[in-house]
Structure formats: C-alpha cells, structure tokens
Amino acid sequence: MELQSLTLLVEILDAGNLSEAARRLKMSRANVSYHLGTFERAVGQQLVRRTTRRIEPTEIGLQLYEHGRKIRNELEAARESVATLGQSLQGRVRLSVPSGYGQMVMSPWLIDFKRAYPGIVLDVVFENRVVDLLRDEVDIAVRVMSDPPDNLVARDMGPVRYVACASKAYAQAHGLPAQLEDLDKLPVITSGVVGRQLRLSAYLHGERHEVPLSPTLTSENFAFLREAILAGLGLGLVPDYVVHDAVASGEVLTTLDDWKLSIFGTRMVMLYMPNRHHTRAASTFIEFVLEKARQSV
C-alpha cells in the first residue's frame, strides 16, 4: 500500500467531494478519480460512497482514513520542525470570529498576539454565520452557543452575559421594564438573524422562561447597536461587553439584573477540527487566546 494513495484518500474525504479535492491538490478531477479507483482496486474494496452532495467513507475507507490522517499529521509535524529549526515561529492561522465579540473583545488580543509573534500570518474573518471549517478552510472558529457540535473540539472561553439596558435619557423619559412580560411593549434593540424568530431565554432560581421578541431595530453590527442604545432609540438586549464602559460611567442603565438572559447561547467557545494537524502557529494561537479569555472572565 503506497503512502501517496493513503494521503490522497485523506485529502478526498477531508474535502468532501472530488472537485474540491482536485482544487486543493492542484490536480484535475479526472486524475483524482483515476487514482482513487486505482487505490480501490489495489485494496480490493470500495473505499468511498458518492452521495448527491458529498463523498462518504465505507467502513474500510474510514479505517484507512484514520491511519492515513495520523501518518499525514506526523509528516506535517516533521516537515514543520525541519523548516522552522532555528527560526522564529512562523505559519498562517485562518480564524473566524463573531462580529461584535471579535471587534470589541478579541481585537486587542489579536494585536497583542501579532506583536508577540510577527512571523505568524493571521487571516481573520469577522462573521456570525455558522461555518463549515472544512469547506471554508477555517482553522479556528469562535462562536456563541450553548451546545457545541459533537464533531468538533470545543474549548470554553467563558460565559456570555446579556443585559437589558437603555440610555439614562431613555430611562428617565420612558422608564425601564420591571418584568420580562414588559419587553413586548417596548422598542427592543438587539442582534438578529434574517428569517428567524428571536426568543429571549431567561433564567431565575433555576427556572427557565422564554419570551418571544419583536425588535424594532436589529443588526449584526454591535457597534451600531451600541450607538442606537446610546441615542435613546429603545431598550437594548445585548452582551454586556457591548455597553460595559457606558454602564460603568452611568450613561447606560440596566434592568432585570436578577435574570440570566440569553438569545443565541450562554457560552463563548473556540471550535476546531479534532483530526486536523495543528501547526505550531495554530497551537500557539489557541493557547494564547484561551489564556486571554481566562484572564478576562
């Protein structure tokens, strides 16, 4: 069994289809298909099944994939050790972070990391959609969620605390809600997802309550939401990091403080593939950011 055939199988299954595998390997699709067929004939068994959307491994294909992945990762680690011998840490890390948390909390961390490791290229995407790490070729994603997917490694970065808040001027003019049920009577400002009914989860003394929301202003841009709250346009339901300095100065007031509020999830998590080889650059970045997160809690 040739190592080249084994690593080809790993690349095909990681890519999910022959066309994507061909692009990553810089080969023609026909060439990839030919080599896969040759490998299957040599083994004497079918290694992959083709569905309408993806290629999936057979039982023997999955076993060979696991062996091939381990071998490939060891080879990559060996090449990296040789390439970086006597050099400062180098490499590339492709990162996907939420727009608000990424800009308002993580930006200083990323700048500190670049100062400490100037040889590492950071490719940072600010977005809120759920990413397919393989399809989007993302090394690491940071997302708000309560139940991370089982097929990914999830490293906890701390709680996400939502606050109900408004500018001091708005509170003086209109008052602040004292009950959860009052929220549907107020102009609510919060983040949203197109086509999705927003629901506020609220926890008090171990009991969970749910309140449907009909916001008058929604956006994925948390800096804009912050400005709208400061402008007195309504009651904000946002993560505490969006307005923490304005709350500290008294410019923004909070309410419903006894409740634990959540819209999209209660934890910030770092996600990455369990079976992808991490370069020294990626491993260093992961531990650096997790330490920053621990210090900020």
φ/ψ of residue 195, rounded to 5:
80, 10
Q: Which residue has the tokens 């076993």?
A: 63
Supply the CATH number for residue 25's domain: 1.10.10.10
Which residues partner with 48 through β-bridges?
Answer: 57
Count the domains in the chain: 3
Do 278 and 199 sit in the same domain of this protein?
Answer: no
- pLDDT at 174 exceeding the cut of 90: yes
106 with 241, same domain? no
pTM: 0.69
The verdict on 117 and 154 lying in the same domain is yes
Neighbours of 118 (CB within 10 A): 11
Same domain, yes or no: 110 and 231: no
Q: Are residues 166 and 252 in the same domain?
A: yes
79-89 tens-digit pLDDT: 656 655 545 67
Domain of residue 230, CATH code: 3.40.190.290
Residue 121 and residue 211 share a domain: no
Structural domain span for residue 189? 162-262
Strand (E) or helix (H) holding 71: helix 59-83
Cβ atoms of 56 and 49 within 8 Å: the answer is: yes
Identify whether residues 249 and 278 lie together within a single domain: no
What pLDDT does 185 receive? Answer: 86
Residues 45 and 103 in one domain: no
Q: Are residues 190 and 45 in the same domain?
A: no
Q: Among 40-49, 111-120, 192-201, 251-260, name the one with the lowest average pLDDT.
A: 192-201
Q: Are residues 64 and 137 in the same domain?
A: no
